[in-house]
Amino acid sequence: MDSAENKPADLPDWLLKDENYIPLADKDTFVNKSILSVFKVISRIKKQDSQGVTGSRIHVPLHVLGTFLLIVLLSLTRSFIFVIIINVWLLAVLSMTDSERLVRILKMSAGVTLCTSVVMLPAFILGNTYSSIMITTKVFATITAMGLLSHSAKWSALTEALKKFYIPDIFIFILDITIKYIYLLGELSLNMFYALRLRSVGKNRSKYSSMAGITGSVFLQSKELAEDMYHAMECRGFTGEYHINNKSVLKWPDYLYIVLNIGFLILFIYFGRM
């Protein structure tokens, strides 16, 4: 029997042909880097806010106050010896943290310090050596102190500390909602990047233009979330006021931290008279 007779009469010829489609190779560097950067931000927020206990045993409001005092003293001092003492203390505290936090804090401190040193390089070359080194070491100490604070306390504990220092509720509200929105919209962007990578078959030359669609979708979703949040707060009678329910008690590490900050203040006064 002829093969033409075995061919179904209702099927077109092009449908019976064998096809072996091999898509062109494409690079996913842009999409992969975008996914990795968004995933790092989301994982850091989730990890920091989901800790059972804070990384530091010091009372968080006390830690915030001590960090603020330390930054003020570093800004006002003219003694290079005092700045070196503070840097040695911060590095000693940093060495007692876990390796993951140590690497993250050092990366941030070293990056900002390197940028500062590049900016101060002309002044250093023109002979203003002392001020250049002084400013650079102050920047390193300030960023390290802020890094130790931000990596050792939960976001909720930091907002609670701000409330105890009588910071306006509107500022706390904006900070709190911003962190939550970064997490929610970050998850939405991450899913969109996954969808873009899965649907990009072969050579896709419009990946960069797809960012406009992702940005627009995130904007529309944030608008809808804002409206839903407003209606939910209105239904629950939220008036924009934050209240502190728990009453924490100071422990021996807190008193030790207070004594340490008093020592820094004494050293600031002592070296300021020299």
Q: What is the mean pLDDT of residues 87-92?
A: 91
* Domain presence at residue 263: yes
* Domain presence at residue 2: no
pLDDT tier, 127 (very low <50, low <70, confident <90, very high otherwise): confident
* Domain presence at residue 151: yes
* Domain presence at residue 179: yes
Contacts of 211-220 spanning 24+ positions with Cβ under 8 A: 214/189, 217/188, 217/192, 218/185, 218/188, 218/189, 218/192
Q: How many distinct structural domains can be found in the chain? A: 1
- Residue 217 pLDDT: 81
Classify burial at 191, counting beta carbons within 10 Å of its beta carbon; exposed 0-12, middle 13-18, buried 19 or more: exposed
- 122 to each of 78, 125, 133, how far by Cα in Å? 21, 5, 12
* Domain presence at residue 262: yes
* Domain presence at residue 20: no
- Residue 88 pLDDT: 92
Percent of the chain predicted with pLDDT > 70: 80
- Residue 187 pLDDT: 82
**What are the tens digits of pLDDT across the range 64-80?**
888 999 999 998 888 88
Mean pLDDT of the chain: 79
Alpha-carbon dihedral angle through residues 184, 185, 190, 191, given to the nearest 10 degrees: 80
Q: Which residue did the predictor score with more confidence, 224 or 27?
A: 224
- Residue 54 pLDDT: 46
Q: Is the predicted pLDDT of residue 132 greater than 50, yes or no? A: yes
* Domain presence at residue 24: no
Q: Is the predicted pLDDT of residue 9 greater than 60, yes or no? A: no
The boundaries of the domain holding residue 263 are: 29-39+59-199+210-241+251-272
Q: What is the mean pLDDT of residues 50-72?
A: 75
Q: What HEC string does 247-261 produce? A: CCCCCHHHHHHHHHH
Q: What is the mean pLDDT of residues 90-94?
A: 89
